[in-house]
């Protein structure tokens, strides 16, 4: 079965995004796991805690995006990529270019 070119483009984009996000969340995890990696100039532990909280929020956001990308990759395999999960209509090329992991059309976003 032939895969449409647009799906191949999406596949390459999603894989690249996935690799970037993995690298980013690993980078963040290293810092989050090691508070000593923070600059000694932090005046108080409250500031360190706040930084760590931001870090963990960023890690959580990256993991959420990874889940979305994995779901999009699964949809490419299933042949349903680019279709809205609510109405089954096309999500639209421009929207997919801006958000390759989009699962809903603009109306159902
Ligand atoms: Zn829709």
pTM for the complete prediction? 0.76
Mean pLDDT, the chain cut into blocks of 10 residues (109 residues total): 73 95 89 62 74 89 94 95 96 93 95
- Give residue 17 CA to ligand 1 midpoint distance, Å: 24
> In whole angstroms, what is the distance from residue 89 CA to residue 74 CA?
18
- Give residue 91 CA to ligand 1 midpoint distance, Å: 7
Domain spans of the chain? Answer: 5-81
- Looking at residue 36, its pLDDT comes to 61
Q: HSE on the CB side for 98, CA within 13 Å?
A: 7
And the tokens for 53? 């909280």
- Give residue 84 CA to ligand 1 midpoint distance, Å: 5
């Amino acid at each position: 079965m032939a895969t449409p070119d647009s799906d191949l483009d999406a596949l390459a984009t999603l894989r690249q995004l996935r690799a970037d996000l993995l690298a980013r969340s690993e980078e963040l995890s290293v810092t989050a796991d090691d508070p000593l990696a923070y600059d000694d100039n932090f005046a108080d532990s409250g500031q360190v805690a706040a930084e760590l909280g931001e870090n963990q929020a960023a890690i959580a956001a990256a993991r959420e995006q990874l889940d979305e990308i994995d779901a999009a990759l699964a949809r490419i395999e299933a042949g349903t990529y680019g279709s809205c999960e609510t109405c089954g209509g096309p999500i639209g090329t421009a929207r997919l270019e801006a958000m390759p992991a989009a699962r809903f059309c603009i109306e159902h976003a």
